[in-house]
Amino acid sequence: MGKMKWLGWIGILLSSVFFTACSDDTENNGLNGGAGSLLVAPEVAAYGGGGQAIAGEDNITDISACLFEDGVLTQVFENLQQTDGGYHVSLNAKKGTFYMLANTDGLIDLNGLKGCSEEEWLKTAFPVKDGKAVGFLTGKMDLATRAQSGQTLVLKRGVARFDLTLSGNIAVNSLTLKNAAQSVYLFPQAEGVKSPAGVVRKDVTAHFDEVLTTSTSGVLYVYEQENEGLEVSVEAMVDGQSKVLTKTLEEKVLKRNSIYTLTLRKDTLSSEVSLDVLAWEDGGNTQLQPDLDSQITIDKNLSSLPDGVQMTANNTVTVPSRALDFTLALDCDDELEFVSSENPCVTVEAVSSGVVGENKFVVHKALFPPGYPEEEVKVFFRRKGLNESYEEDCVKLILQENPIRLEGFTFDLQDYTCDFGRYIDNEMGRFTLPEGLELVAEFPEEDKWVKVEQVADAANTYRVLAGWKPNDPKADGRKQSAKLVVRRTADQQEMETYTVVRRNYGLPVTLLNGIWWCRYNALGNSTDFKDQILCAEDPARKLGKTVQEYLNTCSQEEYLHLWNAAYEGNDGIALKAVSKDNKITLDGWRSSESEHINKQEPAALAPDGYEMPTFNDYRSIFGAFVIPTAWAEFTPQIGGTAYRSAIILEKRSGLQLDGQDLGELWTFSVQSVKNQGEEPLTFYGVGCQWDGSGVNRNWFLLACYNPNVTGWLVKGSNASLEHNGAGANNTRIVRFKKSDVEYIYQ
């Protein structure tokens, strides 16, 4: 039998229940006498609370009926066909209880129940089909008390329906009712909602092929049930983030023929999405939901708006970027409470107007910093007596874009700070200001590490430079800040103030032949300041010594800490020498290394603000291809400039590593003789390793930037210096120099 749609049953009387005799005898008319024909035109009950049916929800596939006489099932009518606007059944008696069932075909064996008592019949359990609740309907009437005309047989749905209401950027993937009953009594029980004895309970999930982004009715149907463990779980995407929201039903029953509405709303106070369950049958808390027809609006006449603030719609105000306060009077039938705003630049406090029914609030609008586009900000309120605020209860502020243009800076909305979170120098960024304004730097209790200079060929544009202080004893990684003040040129009145922050790190350096060389070799992770010797920790300078003098006199532990680091490849992680099989070898040395350290970009392996010296940088202090082995004065020359330098060789013995004697260890210093440097530059470190035989002590292979790979090698065998490219797996000492910097401060 094909499906028959019973659409529009709710609130529509299809027909009265009436009886016609099988003949024209009036004694049989309406079953006042013996047997007769009954024409039944059923009507579907409205949902509890007046909820509306949805299209296709009440499709009928089959109709059956049965008659109980004197409490016993005597007649069964299956596969009834609709004729004359109803269903004809032939009855043997004029009294008893008549039951009608829809959509139960194949799930209830009515003929097999013949002879059962009505008490047993009312305890009949109805199962799920394919794991889902069946949309069956049932109804009954007492023939003995039947009116002569105008009576209908009302069918009630055996299931409860779940609807979904969404507010905000929410997309629902699935809905689960946990521990749902898998069977139900065919008919409501006299003692109230009950589930069959021994009922099986399982999670029931509705998966949606296309995610639900709008409010949807009929997302899930389940049987009426009594259940202590009813729990609803919704899997959703909220503002692009996956969330699972769970709610335990406060009531312990689900009633047939009722609608339960799941409401997902984003609470503007917490930005969290709440899941609420509202039952239609008892009305729930429908009176506490906001009425969209009474949306909050702004009363312009009662509001106080300063210059530049304009009301552009009945609930929208446009505000300039500067800091200001103004008063809004809100027109609403309810008393309002401020909840939150979407932007920290906007805060609100209620003010008493002294007039009953007026909602007045002072809006504190802080400076809207440059670099942010014009933004529509919702300011949320809550109607007094509600626990949550809703999307509809808001006014809108249009925060106009700041006219200042930025390059390189992003200032936080709350404290107007740009924290680079690292060491940075040279140009950090630029400000382009409207005419009549200028930019200056201020240093509350801080060194003047920032320089502001106007760009000559750009209209009112200012460069902001971060400087460098050689051997700054305070360069220990602390935060270093400065104020960037925008002020009027005419009277220097401060208009806007921003803060820039960096981490003040610095490596000890010495100036030699025009280059700021780092005094110590790289250690550990060569890119990480925290692994290096910092200015504030320079052990030699603390003692008033050169690095070479310090290495000649320090403890073994201090010596090995500075000495024990060599590099290969491009990972910037130091290899450490260990004693193994009676030889000193670098732990983790890679014979198969293919990345040549001299080919890496100059800054690739260095901390911020430093870089690998080039081949020619070393030539400026070492000179020609071969240096006399006497380690006397020599005259390197590069670019037509002659530098006179001297090399000083020192040796130290008696040091041990893991109990093995290291023998004679060399250090050598290069010193300017013609006042081209402040102090000697000292070289030291673990010797080169190029095979499995271990470290070749006092063979110093110096890493440098040179795509042609050629570098500098001091041969420990004869104290000679030569150019040598060496292989990628030859380990090197890494010594950095300070990258060029525009501004050096004192």
The pLDDT score that the predictor gives to residue 639 is: 42
Rounded to whole angstroms, the Cα distance separating 695 from 434 reads 64
Which tens digit of pLDDT belongs to each residue from 168-217? 789 999 999 999 999 999 999 988 999 999 999 999 999 999 999 988 99
Give the whole-angstrom CA distance, residue 348 versus residue 397: 12
Residue 163 corresponds to which tokens in the numbers above?
């609807």
- Residue 653 above 60 pLDDT? yes
pLDDT tens by residue, 26-73: 333 334 334 677 788 888 888 876 678 888 888 888 999 999 999 999
The confidence score (pLDDT) of residue 293 equals 45
Q: In the block, which residue shows the tokens 């109230």?
A: 192
Q: Mean pLDDT: which of 220-234, 293-307, 356-370, 584-598 is highest?
A: 584-598
Average pLDDT value for residue range 390-417: 92
| Mean pLDDT of the chain, nearest integer | 86
pLDDT tens figures, 117-128 = 999 999 999 999
Q: Encoding tokens for residue 150?
A: 């105008």
Give residue 154's pLDDT band: very low, low, confident or very high (50, 70, 90). confident
Name the DSSP class of 744.
B
Banded pLDDT at 641 (limits 50, 70, 90): very low
Range of weakest confidence among 239-253, 273-287, 566-580: 273-287
Residue 357: per-residue pLDDT: 66
Calculate mean pLDDT across residues 269-294.
53
Q: What is the pLDDT of residue 439?
A: 98
| pLDDT value for 203 | 94
CA gap 317, 362 in Å, rounded? 13
For residue 572, is pLDDT > 90?
Answer: yes
Is 557 strand, coil or helix?
Answer: helix
- Dihedral of the alpha carbons of 385, 390, 392, 393, in degrees to the nearest 10: 40
* 502 contact partners, CB below 8 Å, separation of at least 6: 419, 420, 422, 423, 424, 466, 479, 480
Query: CA-CA distance, 586 to 699, in Å (whole number)?
Result: 14
In percent, the amount of the chain with pLDDT more than 90 equals 64
Tokens (6 digits) for 604 = 């690739």
Distance CA 452, CA 454 (A): 7
Average pLDDT on 658-679 reads: 83
DSSP 249-314: -SSSEE-TT-EEEEEEEE-TTT-PEEEEEEESTT-TTGGGS--GGG--EE-TTTSB--TT-EEEET
Q: Please report the pLDDT score of residue 133 as a whole number.
A: 95
Contact criterion met (CB below 8 Å) for 531 and 523: yes
What is the spatial distance between Cα 549 and Cα 551, in angstroms, rounded to a whole number?
6
* Cα–chain center distance at 420: 22
CB atoms within 10 A of CB 638: 17
Considering only 87-101, 406-420, 627-641, which range has the smallest mean pLDDT?
627-641
| Residue % of the chain over a pLDDT of 70 | 86
Q: What is the pLDDT of residue 725?
A: 87
Q: 618: part of which helix (H) or strand (E)? A: helix 615-622
Specify whether the backbone of 217 is left (phi greater than 0), alpha (psi in -120 to 50) or beta. Answer: beta
At 648, list the tokens: 């000083």
Residue 14 has pLDDT above 80, yes or no: no
Which pLDDT tens digit goes with each residue over 474-500?
Answer: 999 999 999 999 999 999 999 999 999
Residue 330 predicted with pLDDT over 90: yes
- Predicted local confidence at residue 75, as pLDDT: 95
Determine the pLDDT at residue 459. 87
The pair of structure tokens assigned to 328 is 């809004």
Longest Cα–Cα distance of the chain, Å, equals 144
Checking if the pLDDT of 679 tops 60, the result is yes
611 close to 737: Cβ distance less than 8 angstroms: yes
CA distance 587 to 590: 9
According to the model, what pLDDT value does residue 551 have?
98
Q: What is the pLDDT of residue 150?
A: 39
